[in-house]
Amino acid sequence: MKFKNYQTVFLYTLAVIFLSSCDSSSTSYSIEDNGNDSGGGSNNTDLPAGFSKFISEYTDVYISGDYVVVESAGVPNHSSPYWGAGHPNYAAPHSNMVVNPNIISEQNFKFYIPLNPSISSSSSSTPLGPIGVSISGVPFYNQYAGPNNQPLDNEIPSFDSYYGHPQQTGQYHYHWEPTYLTFNESASMLIGYSLDGFPVYGPTEQSNGQYPSNLDELNGHSHSTNEYQDGTYHYHATSTSPYLIGGFKGNYGSLNGGGYFTN
């Protein structure tokens, strides 16, 4: 009986943690959209090559002024327990998973990503909430849990098989490598973009399939890739903190929609 009581308290504590985690309270602002999105999709021929990788079924990608705009509903292109029982994409929890009480819901994201990113004189820290977007339209989050930049340790057991989970408003997101993408294509593939305009790649190099050994404190370095033949700064997913993007190397754009704003 004592064990059952302790178990109840433990599960209640985890529920409280999950309900208050992955939060963001930063101030919002908007970028005036003077661009032409009539082309829609990710087939706009003026887009930088990497943006052609976005999955058109889940995203709409176009140029607006000095920004590439990525619109998405933020829902994953794979199964998860967080779709809820009865949903066609529902999957049973994996072994030892501690499912949080949240259910995936559609968002209304509009990511404004610099068309011509540049390295700033000093890097800036990432806030809680979306800090980038995967090619499937699911946002990237940083290496911390809300509400006070707590270690991610308490949230990791709630990740589904593809290392994602939703926060309390149903906003699904990745803190780690989105393995549904990399397992189905390549560990070196372009998996998305940071809000500062620099691409994010899987954990290995395209040139040799090896793990990079010279990443900076932000999880990035510079060289040519398949999408950027002339070279560019870019981030890599890693198995240790900061996992995706340790900070913004460049001047970052903004996000409208989904109840979260980064600025």
Average pLDDT over residues 1-10: 36
Enter the pTM of the model.
Answer: 0.84
Three-class DSSP labels, 94-152: CCCCCCCCCCCCCCCEEEEEECCCCEEEEEECCCCCCCEEECCCCEECCCEECCCCEEH
Quote the CA–CA distance of 25 and 259 in Å, as a whole number: 10
Number of separate helices (H) and strands (E) present in the chain: 2, 16
Quote the CA–CA distance of 103 and 166 in Å, as a whole number: 7
Q: Where in the chain are the domains? A: 59-262
Q: Are 65 and 214 in contact (CB under 8 A)?
A: no
- In which band, very low, low, confident or very high, does the pLDDT at 37 lie, cut at 50, 70 and 90? very low
Residue 111, pLDDT score: 98
Average pLDDT over residues 187-194: 98
Residue 45, pLDDT score: 67
- Tell me whether strands 109-114 and 144-145 are parallel, antiparallel or unpaired: unpaired
Quote the CA–CA distance of 85 and 47 in Å, as a whole number: 39
Higher pLDDT, 32 or 93: 93
| pLDDT tops 80 at residue 208 | yes
| pLDDT tops 80 at residue 22 | no
Q: What percent of the chain has pLDDT over 70?
A: 81
Higher pLDDT, 26 or 164: 164
Quote the CA–CA distance of 248 and 195 in Å, as a whole number: 8
| pLDDT digit string, tens, across residues 68-86 | 999 999 999 999 999 999 9
| pLDDT tops 70 at residue 36 | no
Residue 95 burial (CB < 10 Å; 0-12/13-18/19+)? exposed
Average pLDDT over residues 189-209: 98
Residue 148, pLDDT score: 82
Quote the CA–CA distance of 50 and 105 in Å, as a whole number: 27
In this structure, which amino acid lies at residue 193?
Answer: Y
The DSSP letter of residue 39 is S
- In which band, very low, low, confident or very high, does the pLDDT at 189 lie, cut at 50, 70 and 90? very high
Q: What percent of the chain has pLDDT over 90?
A: 76
Average pLDDT over residues 173-192: 98
